[in-house]
């Protein structure tokens, strides 16, 4: 027997979130124009092609900002202001 509960799904339905997902999938389809007219693999292409580099850069920017913050805190604690 399945755990699929239509009533529960509808009670927790977030129209804005679902529309955003649909709009994004349409964007992926328009950008990558799969020759087989299938959505399979579009998310992976997006992650590796568009988002991957951006997210990696953002990760290192966050690490750098954290390191600078910790250095400032340590400087203040040591009275080197």
What's the alpha-carbon Rg for the chain, to the nearest Å? 22
Q: What is the pTM of this model?
A: 0.51
* pLDDT given for residue 13 in this prediction: 93
Residue count of the chain: 81
Can you give the pLDDT at residue 81? 59
Cα dihedral 24/49/43/56 (nearest 10)? -90
Q: What is the pLDDT of residues 56-69, one digit of tens each?
A: 889 999 999 999 99
Quote the CA–CA distance of 51 and 63 in Å, as a whole number.
Answer: 18
3-state secondary structure of 50: helix
Q: Over 50: is that where the pLDDT of 1 sits?
A: no
For residue 68, what are its two tokens? 């600078």
């Amino acid at each position: 027997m399945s755990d699929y509960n239509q009533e529960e799904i509808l009670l927790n339905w977030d129209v804005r979130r679902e529309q955003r997902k649909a709009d994004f999938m349409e964007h992926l389809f328009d950008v990558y124009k799969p020759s087989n007219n299938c959505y399979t693999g579009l998310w992976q292409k997006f992650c590796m092609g568009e988002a991957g580099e951006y997210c990696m850069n953002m990760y290192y920017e966050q690490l750098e900002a954290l390191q600078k913050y910790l250095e400032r805190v340590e400087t203040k604690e040591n009275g080197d202001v």
